[in-house]
């Protein structure tokens, strides 16, 4: 989300998130600082935002210890800083790691290390990995510190104090340089050594009825902004647009490599069909089954069926009391229709025998009405509880809460599947929330983790 220029204050929620993570300290130590003492876990927004939804209803434990994982020394002008990354664990429950890390920033002085601030570091917003890549730069006597490429804040050394500065203030001007329909990309990085900000360029879309939907296989373009420190914030001097290459953003390479491989496995698709690499099930309760057609048209020839749901025999109690649905691979999407194949009769993916006397699944590839197709949310390797403006890990995203106030999750979230592209599904959740989710599956026994 873009931010206003410095003359307009930061939104209160964002300011709280940034400032609440800086915990002042002025104690001199001879060794690295790694202490969780004094952190108000119950109210800290970074910690609470990373908790699993189930844990939000439980009391927050306070018996936390910090164990040094990594150290880095950076120099800016005549200032030398030691940054210490600490893993936070519950003292009396070995192996239980908190969902955040603690970063201590200390000045290196002749008498030792003097801690000037502590920051809670969450997972990388692109791929849920931990990234600790400190940088420091002296700009006309102002020392700026970066913890990680996509951290919410950079920090300014103000005398002996550490002050947070919103890391995304430059984005408003950068986005303004883009066509309006290509502003749905997220911030990829800030590099203080190069004084460069990188912003992905993505066209968004969540309404199949309004123009073409974005594709997971669209070109990888990046806006590169030359940054300057002006008026107490990072501002844009000039911009250029480049094609993102492999290794430019390591966090994205794994996603795109997997998507390319799965796309190749589909083989040749009909012209105009968007490739999809997800699975789903039939919601059609008609006793004759769901019609599979030769083309994405209600008047096209019926070439076979997807069997109707079937109530399992009493000995197969793993499915519960409800009927089990037929499952299939979804290979493509066009105009409200899904191209499917590898149709499995109810229960057969779980080694349950399917009688020959029941309607048999079509053996080939064909089209089914999208209104009759369902699926379950799977773990796509992205931050939990968020939907995306486009089918890309570098698209802008937002958190969605269910009717109980918890983030949407793999555990039973109900939704409508509207379209697909690669491993992404365009979904609509209760309350009318629409967005793209990476990873959909057809598992009816457990969640798709």
Q: Is residue 155 part of a domain?
A: no
52 three-state secondary structure: coil
Q: Which of 108, 123, 138 is the last residue of a domain?
A: 123
Q: Is residue 3 part of a domain?
A: no
Banded model confidence at residue 37, pLDDT cuts 50, 70, 90: confident
Q: Which of 31-35, 85-89, 161-165, 246-250 has the lowest mean pLDDT?
A: 31-35
Q: Give me the pLDDT at residue 32, please.
A: 63
Q: Give me the pLDDT at residue 384, please.
A: 83
Distance CA(103)–CA(164), nearest Å, equals 14
Q: Is residue 158 part of a domain?
A: no
Helix (H) or strand (E) holding 165, with range, is strand 161-166
Tokens of 356: 């020959």
At 374-431, the pLDDT tens digits run 999 999 999 888 999 999 999 999 999 887 777 888 888 889 999 999 999 999 998 8
Tokens of 107: 């000045």
Q: Is residue 422 part of a domain?
A: yes
At 71-122, the pLDDT tens digits run 999 999 999 999 999 999 987 656 688 889 999 999 999 999 999 999 999 9
Q: How many domains, in total, are found in the chain?
A: 2
Banded model confidence at residue 61, pLDDT cuts 50, 70, 90: confident
Tokens of 186: 């997220």
Beta-bridge partners for 435: 427
58: containing domain: 12-123
Q: Is residue 56 part of a domain?
A: yes
111 half-sphere exposure, CB direction, 13 A CA radius: 5
Q: Is residue 184 part of a domain?
A: no
Q: Would the pLDDT of 448 be above 90?
A: no
Q: Which of 123, 152, 180 is the last residue of a domain?
A: 123
Residues 115 and 252 in one domain: no
Q: Is residue 156 part of a domain?
A: no
Whether the Cβ atoms of residue 104 and residue 87 lie closer than 8 Å to each other: no
Q: Which of 74, 100, 123 is the last residue of a domain?
A: 123
Banded model confidence at residue 2, pLDDT cuts 50, 70, 90: very low
Q: What are phi and psi of 116, to 5 degrees?
A: -115, -5
Residues 113 and 262 in one domain: no
Q: Is residue 394 part of a domain?
A: yes
Q: Would the pLDDT of 7 be above 80?
A: no
Which burial class, exposed, middle or buried, applies to 1 when counting CB atoms under 10 A from its CB (0-12, 13-18, 19+)?
A: exposed
């Amino acid at each position: 989300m873009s931010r206003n220029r410095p003359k307009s204050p930061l939104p209160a929620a964002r300011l709280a998130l940034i400032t609440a993570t800086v915990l002042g300290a002025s104690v001199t130590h001879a060794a690295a600082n790694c202490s969780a003492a004094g952190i108000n876990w119950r109210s800290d927004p970074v910690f609470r935002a990373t908790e699993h939804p189930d844990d939000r209803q439980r009391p927050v434990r306070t018996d936390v210890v910090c164990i040094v994982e990594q150290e880095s020394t950076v120099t800016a002008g005549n200032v030398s800083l030691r940054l210490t990354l600490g893993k936070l664990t519950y003292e009396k429950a070995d192996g239980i790691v908190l969902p955040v890390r603690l970063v201590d920033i200390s000045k290196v002085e002749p008498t030792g290390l003097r801690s000037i601030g502590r920051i809670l570091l969450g997972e990388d917003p692109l791929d849920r990995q931990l990234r600790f890549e400190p940088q420091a730069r002296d700009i006309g006597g102002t020392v700026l510190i970066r913890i990680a490429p996509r951290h919410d804040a950079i920090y300014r050394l103000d005398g002996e104090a550490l002050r947070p500065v919103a890391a995304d203030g430059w984005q408003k001007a950068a986005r303004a340089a883009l066509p309006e329909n290509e502003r749905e990309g997220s911030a990829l990085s800030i590099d203080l050594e190069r004084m460069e900000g990188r912003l992905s360029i993505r066209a968004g879309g969540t309404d199949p009825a309004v123009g073409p939907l974005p594709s997971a296989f669209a070109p990888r373009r990046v806006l590169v902004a030359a940054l300057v420190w002006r008026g107490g914030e990072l501002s844009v001097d000039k911009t250029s647009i480049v094609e993102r290459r492999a290794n430019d953003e390591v966090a994205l390479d794994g996603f795109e490599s997997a998507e390319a491989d799965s796309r190749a496995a589909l083989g040749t698709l009909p012209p105009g069909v968007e490739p999809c690499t997800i699975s789903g099930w039939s919601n059609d309760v008609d006793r004759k089954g769901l019609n599979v057609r030769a083309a994405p048209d209600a008047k096209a020839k019926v070439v076979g069926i997807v069997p109707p749901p079937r109530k399992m025999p009493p000995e197969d109690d793993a499915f519960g009391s409800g009927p089990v649905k037929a499952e299939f691979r979804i290979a493509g999407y066009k105009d409200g229709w899904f191209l499917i194949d590898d149709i499995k009769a109810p229960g057969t993916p779980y080694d349950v025998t399917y009688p020959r006397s029941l309607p048999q699944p079509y053996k080939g590839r064909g089209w089914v009405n999208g209104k009759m197709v369902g699926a379950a949310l799977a773990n796509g390797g992205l931050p939990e509880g968020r939907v995306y403006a486009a089918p890309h890990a570098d698209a802008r995203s937002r958190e969605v809460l269910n009717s109980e106030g918890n983030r949407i999750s793999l555990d039973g979230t109900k939704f409508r599947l509207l379209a697909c592209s690669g491993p992404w599904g365009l979904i609509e959740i209760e309350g009318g929330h629409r967005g793209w989710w990476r990873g959909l599956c057809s598992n009816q026994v457990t969640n798709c983790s």
